Amino acid sequence: MPSRIDATRLISHLRNEGWSSFGRRGSRRLFQALGERLSWAEFDFPLREEDIADSGNLRLPAPRQILKDQLHIGWVCTPPAAGSGGHTTLFRMVQGLEERGHRCTLFLYDRYADDVARHEEVIRRNWPGMRAEVRSATQGMEDADAVVASSWATAHVVASRVVSRAHRFYFIQDYEPFFYPRGTFYALAEDTYRFGFRNIALGKMIAGVMENEVGISPDAIVPFGCDNDIYRILPERDGASRSGVVFYAKKNVDRRGYLLAKLALERFHQAHPEQEIHVYGDKVSGWSIPVTDHGNLTPTQLNELYNRTLAGLAISFTNISLVPEELMSAGNIPVLNESAYSRAVLSTDDAVWGRPTPCGMADALAAAVEATDVEARAARVAARERRDWEETKKQVASIIETTCAEVLTGDRAS
């Protein structure tokens, strides 16, 4: 039976190589043995124990004023997978600082390993426009003038590992306590907003929830953007007929509603068997209806698919995803679950909203494909003015530059 250290190593192996490397019988025995040594929560816990910070006794060094043209900015994140929307948004901010002449470093944090070589390969292949050096967050970040956390776990890392007088920022893309039931993960995620970093919220939803839940307002709110150079109506598709619906599958991210979407699409198919169902993202199986499973698509391929289809299922139970705006840029109608959080960000009469139940979402999809003005509607939603990411990049860069040049006093400097 494996010891705790052995269990940790085995989990690292599973994360890197998958269960198939052990075979079915070996995987079952390993799973039982690990379960006797570690709680289920420990399998997914993203931090090393020494990196857990506590706002109640956190005493951060006062940041120093920095008056130089080129800053060294560290961005702390988890290792990305191809197609990760959160990483793509973060890396846009990195590029925005690079475009202004600053030096950027990605500090990757992996609970189970310090080697970043294989992760750097993924980054260079999927985000070739970003020049940032890639290092491990566990090997020291003292040479950075500013350090930016990008998730609740990395906020703990910045609080516990950055011992220099660097300026600390928190780029908040969602209210992450909502990712979990009330418990350990929820409490540790919630505590990060009390660390005293300069909190930058992406969108109004986060600001409202932070104020309601923890009584803290972000220091700045920056707007969502859309990649208008990629997501648009293609000239050869302008006015062409459309058919079918599309869904982005994230099987292990429950806030994106994979199981709800699956049940809804199975019901939708009974009413509209003539509409092809396209799924991209995670590979799917076990569906009772025929689907066209595309797997991961590049943004260009995705735009082509959006141009061919009528509607897209875009479920989110926390902050809205990037998918609805990208769908509309391509003339596709987003179908969303009723949510005050999504409505706080997306204000348009062209989106279709459904009750977050299998029947409710199936009915909303049916309403979208049964509309009589498909071509006119596609042209209308694509022509809707939408902000690109340049303004967001500019605002984030300005916040970092201005803060680093400040002489901080009071609570912020304590």
Residues 197-213 have pLDDT tens digits of: 999 999 999 999 999 99
Report residue 375 as tokens: 């071509």
DSSP conformation letters of 172-213 = ESS-GGGGS-TTHHHHHHHHGGGS--EEEEESHHHHHHHHHH
Asked if residue 77 and residue 221 are part of one domain, the reply reads yes
Confirm whether 55 is domain-assigned: no
Asked if residue 192 and residue 101 are part of one domain, the reply reads yes
Asked if residue 198 and residue 118 are part of one domain, the reply reads yes
Confirm whether 194 is domain-assigned: yes
- Dist. CA 342–CA 171, nearest whole Å: 19
Asked if residue 115 and residue 193 are part of one domain, the reply reads yes
Put the strands of the sheet holding 333-337 in their side by side order. Answer: 292-295, 277-281, 245-249, 311-313, 333-337, 352-354
3-state secondary structure 208-245: HHHHHHHCCCCCEEECCCCCCCCCCCCHHHCCCCCCCE
Q: Supply the pLDDT for residue 250.
A: 93
Residue 45: which residues within 8 A CB-CB, separation 6 or more? Answer: 111, 185
Confirm whether 295 is domain-assigned: yes
CATH number assigned to the domain comprising residue 339: 3.40.50.2000
Confirm whether 60 is domain-assigned: no
Asked if residue 368 and residue 291 are part of one domain, the reply reads yes
Confirm whether 57 is domain-assigned: no
Q: Supply the pLDDT for residue 400.
A: 98
Write down the pTM of the prediction. Answer: 0.87
DSSP conformation letters of 79-108 = PP-TT-HHHHHHHHHHHHHHHTT-EEEEEE
C-beta separation of 50 from 137 below 8 A: no
State how many domains the chain has.
3
CATH number assigned to the domain comprising residue 103: 3.40.50.11090
Asked if residue 407 and residue 303 are part of one domain, the reply reads no
Asked if residue 139 and residue 201 are part of one domain, the reply reads yes
Asked if residue 214 and residue 76 are part of one domain, the reply reads yes
Confirm whether 59 is domain-assigned: no
Asked if residue 202 and residue 280 are part of one domain, the reply reads no
Confirm whether 52 is domain-assigned: no
Q: How far is CA 90 from CA 129, 149, 156, 400, in A?
A: 13, 10, 18, 14
> Which residue segment(s) compose the domain that 33 sits in?
4-44
Q: Supply the pLDDT for residue 2.
A: 47
Low-confidence ranges of the chain (pLDDT < 50): 1-2, 5, 17-22, 24, 410-411, 413-414
Asked if residue 33 and residue 114 are part of one domain, the reply reads no
Beta bridge partners of 108: 77, 136
Confirm whether 163 is domain-assigned: yes
Q: Supply the pLDDT for residue 406.
A: 86
Asked if residue 172 and residue 99 are part of one domain, the reply reads yes
Asked if residue 265 and residue 211 are part of one domain, the reply reads no
Residues counted in the chain: 414
Report residue 374 as tokens: 């498909």
